[in-house]
Amino acid sequence: MNATNSNSRRNKILEIIIDSYIETAVPVGSKAVSEKFDENLSPATIRNIMAELEEIGYLTHPHTSAGRIPTDKGYRFYVDSIMPVYSPSKDESKRIEKEVEVDEKEELLHRVLKILAGITGETSIILFPKFRKTSLMYIELFPIYGNKVLLLLVTTAGLIKNTIIDLGKRVDEDLLERVSEFLNMQFQGKELDQILPEIKNKIDDCKDSFLAILQLSMDILTKSEFLIDDELIEFEGTSNILKQPEFEDANKAKNVLKALEDEEDILSIIKDDIDCRNKISIHIGSENKPRDLRDCSLVISPYRFSNRNIGALGVIGPTRMEYPKVCGRVSFLAEIISRFLNE
């Protein structure tokens, strides 16, 4: 037998073992493999191939069982080289698209998060858009009472923010209107994080009566805190991960709950994924630097606005995850978010 056929046979047996283990969470023996293998191989041949897979680190076996289970290295080879591409069927796609129909864009993000947890049976994650990375559509300022002003800001992605700002002094309504007009005229279509530096440059160069408008614009935007790079992450279906047999172990359950509660470790992984151009990223078990995530896999897909990654959608679950369907559904819903934001 040539090397190509030998590798193909070995890969097929690894795929059968991984698919079976994902489905049952039970170590897989040679008899179970032979029942699903197309070729007529003897149990001895299958056992030899399984031993080879164990020797190169793709499989291991519990001490109490003759069956094998995949290692993190085995899962990695599977998702990189063997895993079939999965796309939702036409019926599933139509059903999902109908379920996500909403009027407000921020409502869409919450809806998608809930749908993803439901259709994967895992814990879904969303990193909400970095507000400062979106662009200004328009801004309005309204005097309320005393020294307070209401700021309403709408981005080109359809995200709406409003806040009440205490300016520390009473400001004339006419001046507020001039500030609104100035900001809309000068910065419409500009990314929000570019506005303050540009105003500062204008202030440095300005020596006339326009200085008051520039300084008030700077003061209002700084106090609004809209441009602070806050990272808002949310989970749905947290209980799903605890239903998996892997997390019947109290220590493993404690670790994953700690990771979900602290958020920072998961957030650091997602932020790295947003900065890369991959359509989807898969982090498997021991590949995760945070120790609390060593028993988990994360599947993350960024969503885009104006050809920029501004947020991310994903799933966290055990390493024994149904990777093809999870990856296909995460990608599909991330594409829906991107399409909706760009409409």
Structure token digits, residue 81: 């080289």
Considering the domain architecture, whether residues 113 and 205 belong to the same structural domain is answered as no
Task: Report pLDDT digits (tens) over 7-52.
Answer: 888 999 999 999 999 999 999 998 889 888 777 788 888 889 999 9
Considering the domain architecture, whether residues 142 and 273 belong to the same structural domain is answered as no
CATH number of the domain within which 24 lies? 1.10.10.10
Domain tally for the chain?
A: 3
Global pTM value:
0.81
How far is the C-alpha of 17 from the C-alpha of 59, rounded, in Å?
9
Q: Which of 65, 63, 57, 54 is nearest to 27 (CA)?
A: 65
For residue 147, CA distances in Å to 150, 163, 169 come to 10, 14, 5
CATH number of the domain within which 196 lies? 3.30.390.60
Query: Which of the listed residues 198, 224, 250 is the one where a domain comes to its end?
Result: 224
CATH number of the domain within which 310 lies? 3.30.450.40
Please give the pLDDT value at position 3: 56
Considering the domain architecture, whether residues 114 and 35 belong to the same structural domain is answered as no
pLDDT, mean of residues 185-206: 83
Please give the pLDDT value at position 167: 84
Task: Report pLDDT digits (tens) over 213-267.
Answer: 888 888 888 877 766 656 688 999 999 988 899 888 888 889 888 988 888 889 8
Cβ atoms of residues 280 and 297 within 8 Å = no
Considering the domain architecture, whether residues 178 and 310 belong to the same structural domain is answered as no
Please give the pLDDT value at position 175: 86
Query: Which of the listed residues 224, 257, 276 is the one where a domain comes to its end?
Result: 224
CA atoms in the 13 A half-sphere facing the CB of 285 = 14
Considering the domain architecture, whether residues 235 and 125 belong to the same structural domain is answered as yes
Kindly provide the b/e burial profile for residues 167-191, where b requires at least 16 CB atoms within 10 angstroms of the residue's own CB. Answer: beeebeeeebebbbebbeeebeeeb
Considering the domain architecture, whether residues 104 and 60 belong to the same structural domain is answered as no
Query: Which of the listed residues 196, 224, 252 is the one where a domain comes to its end?
Result: 224
Task: Report pLDDT digits (tens) over 88-130.
Answer: 999 999 999 898 887 776 788 899 999 999 999 999 999 988 7
Considering the domain architecture, whether residues 181 and 251 belong to the same structural domain is answered as no
Residue 2: is its pLDDT beyond 60?
Answer: no
Cβ atoms of residues 22 and 321 within 8 Å = yes
How far is the C-alpha of 336 from the C-alpha of 41, rounded, in Å?
45
Considering the domain architecture, whether residues 244 and 117 belong to the same structural domain is answered as yes
Considering the domain architecture, whether residues 55 and 103 belong to the same structural domain is answered as no
Considering the domain architecture, whether residues 51 and 68 belong to the same structural domain is answered as yes
Considering the domain architecture, whether residues 38 and 58 belong to the same structural domain is answered as yes
Please give the pLDDT value at position 205: 73
Task: Report pLDDT digits (tens) over 145-191.
Answer: 778 888 888 887 777 778 888 888 888 888 888 888 988 999 888 88
Q: Which of 130, 123, 140, 14 is nearest to 77 (CA)?
A: 14
**What is the extent of the structural domain holding 152?**
132-224
